[in-house]
Amino acid sequence: MASSLERPTTAPPSLRQLLADLGPGYVANGFIGWLFAATAPVAIILSVGSRGGLSEAQLASWLFGAFFVNGLLTILFCWLYRQPLAFFWTIPGTVLVGPALAHLSFAEVVGAYVATGLLILLLGLSGWVRRAMQAVPMPIVMGMVAGVFLRFGLDLVRALQQDPGIAGAMVVAWLGLSLWPAAGRRLPPLIGALLAGALAIALLGRFDTATLGAIELARPLWQAPAWSWAAMVELVIPLAITVLVVQNGQGIAVLRAVGHEPPVNAITVACGAGALASAAVGAVSSCLTGPTNAIISSSGEKSRHYSAGIVTGLLALGFGLLAPACTRLMLHAPKAFIMALAGLAMLRVLQAAFVTSFKDRFTLGALVAFLVTVADLGLWNIGAAFWGLLAGFVVSWLLEHADFK
């Protein structure tokens, strides 16, 4: 099985070579790539986990796994393959977990994480991952994803109604930086929205600095898995699809667009191993991230992009070690701040999900998958995301059979 893994085409760089390749522009790209992951995507984790009844300690442990484990993977693969290969966690998979936490225990969800990691690991070692990625109709998958993501878009609207002072400032900053491309390149719109929200909170006196306490290092919690068929059926296949098709597919496409040749099988194995390690501390499955890789490969010489990825990985390690303080800071922010930040982060993703779902083929199946998922009616203790995926596939097979050819 290991023979299917791609070997590096060049020798890993020495420390001297790495320092020579690491210029100010690559440091800046690596920093922005990390900052993107450390802002709105973290808000999504906290939003999902808080709604699911997780404690502050469990959320801090989740953040530790999401950043520290994936930071190690990022550093290792960027160094080994001399390419910008940044790993973080699956955002669609995180959102999928939200409804599951309403009727499954966290231990059962962790058991699904472990099973997902094993499945991804086997697909990577066998070399079947390319076939698996091609076998799943993307419009139906994205119809299900759009149904899950819709709540975040609605939360953004609700935040504007409930707390216009904070959410309004964030939306104005996001719109301004999106409309002014030159400024948006220097300060990404999502980071601008975060800064505007933080400023609004400070000016309105809505944050109690006494809640911060002393800076403390992470104390990850060991999360023992529990096994249930409901969790396996509801989560394993959808999670694996979000990693392999939605996230890895996007990350690989981004890197190929700028001239890199990412090692697909090795990346899949890394995601499987990362998912198993992350599950041990309660974090969702690892993936090759699209947005961060787009940022760290956005400028400079192609042969030096890997150095920006290593900067991102090092910053991720530090953030993971300080996860308790970061978790406390975000949890004690006004609710509208988290709702608006998560909603703005999901806005473009939700748009892309709708475009992919209804652009060309499998449109009826995608619509059915979307409707069943939005209805959020589980069956046999299995959540709506699975049934949406299944219903969409069946309807397309029966009524859009030509699209499979």
Q: How far apart are CA 251 and CA 257, in angstroms?
A: 10
DSSP result, 236-264: IHHHHHIIIIIIHHHHHHHHHHTT----H
Digits of tens for pLDDT over the chain (405 positions)?
556 778 888 889 999 999 988 877 788 778 777 877 877 678 788 888 888 888 888 888 999 999 999 999 999 999 999 999 999 988 878 888 888 888 889 999 999 999 999 999 998 888 777 666 666 677 887 787 778 778 778 888 888 888 888 888 888 988 888 888 777 667 777 778 878 888 888 787 776 665 555 667 778 888 889 988 888 988 898 888 888 877 787 777 678 767 888 888 899 999 999 999 999 999 999 999 877 887 788 767 888 999 989 999 999 999 888 877 777 776 677 778 877 877 776 677 677 778 878 888 888 888 988 888 888 776 665 567 678 878 888 888 888 877 777
pTM of structure:
0.72
pLDDT score, position 181: 76
Q: What residue has token string 């995507």?
A: 41
Q: How far apart are CA 106 and CA 57, in angstroms?
A: 13
Angle at 136 between CA 279 and CA 240, to 5 degrees: 0
Amino acid at 238: P
Q: Which of 353, 346, 102 is nearest to 234 (CA)?
A: 102
